Amino acid sequence: MKKETKSGTTKKDAQPKAAKSQKGAALAERDAKRGIKLDVDKAVAMYKAGKTISEIAQAMGFPKGSGNNRTHAVLVQAGARKPRPSEK
């Protein structure tokens, strides 16, 4: 459905965003197909041993440059790392 804006142009209605749990389930399903399992205990142990988030993501099976945000989120949820300033 399109709506007319003040300037007279039209724009599409925003699609409702999926709930976080739905997104998490979809990401977990996608990672399972790729053979990636993010082990929280292993990630925390590696982080405490001084490994970078990128190194941890690669060790978990993500390609280089991928999975860093997911790995960071797992470490924040586990309490091993503080959230980014933009996430507070």
pLDDT, tens digit (0-9, with 9 covering 90-100), for 70-86: 899 889 988 999 988 88
pTM attached to this predicted model: 0.63
Q: Mind listing the pLDDT tens digit for each residue in 27-58?
A: 667 777 777 777 889 999 999 999 999 999 99
- Cα-based torsion angle of the residue sequence 44, 27, 36, 66 in order, rounded to the nearest 10 degrees: -80
Whole-angstrom Cα distance, residue 43 to residue 79? 12
Whether 48 and 38 have beta carbons less than 8 Å apart is answered as: no
Q: Are 72 and 40 in contact (CB under 8 A)?
A: no
